[in-house]
Amino acid sequence: MALPTKQSAAPNNPSLLLPSELVDKCVNEKVWIIMKNGHKEFTGTLKGFDVYVNCVLEDAIEYDRDQESGKETTKNLESILLNGNNICMIVPGGERS
């Protein structure tokens, strides 16, 4: 969804937390990333990102749930680059619930 000329949410509202600020805060912290396809997730330390929210994760773990059996396999990946286009949700803290 895009908004044309979005007057940013009440800029002087102290409690406001812009998406870019949330991701900024996650740099060098653990994050949990859920991909669009609904069965792939990652945790790891966010080392960097850009305007397309392509994400560099270190000490990453990939969780892949088989859509037929529901069985989940994991992979340890030292460092990875994720295509921001495929990301559905980012959860700061990296604890999968």
Site map (CB under 8 A) of a copy of itself, residues 25-64, x = contact: --xx------xxxx-x------xxxxxxxxxx--------
Contact 87, 36 (CB under 8 A): yes
Query: Residue 84 interacts with a copy of itself (CB under 8 A)?
Result: yes
Query: Residue 3 interacts with a copy of itself (CB under 8 A)?
Result: yes
Q: Alpha-carbon dihedral of residues 36, 40, 41, 42, nearest 10 degrees?
A: -110
Query: Residue 69 interacts with a copy of itself (CB under 8 A)?
Result: no
CB of 43 to a copy of itself, least distance (A): 14
The DSSP secondary structure of 2-71, one letter per residue, reads: --SS-PPS-TT-TT---HHHHHHHHTTSEEEEEETTSSEEEEEEEEEE-TT--EEEEEEEEEEE-TTT--
Query: Residue 73 interacts with a copy of itself (CB under 8 A)?
Result: no
Chain residues binding a copy of itself by CB under 8 A are 1-10, 13, 15-24, 27-28, 35-38, 40, 47-56, 75-93, 97
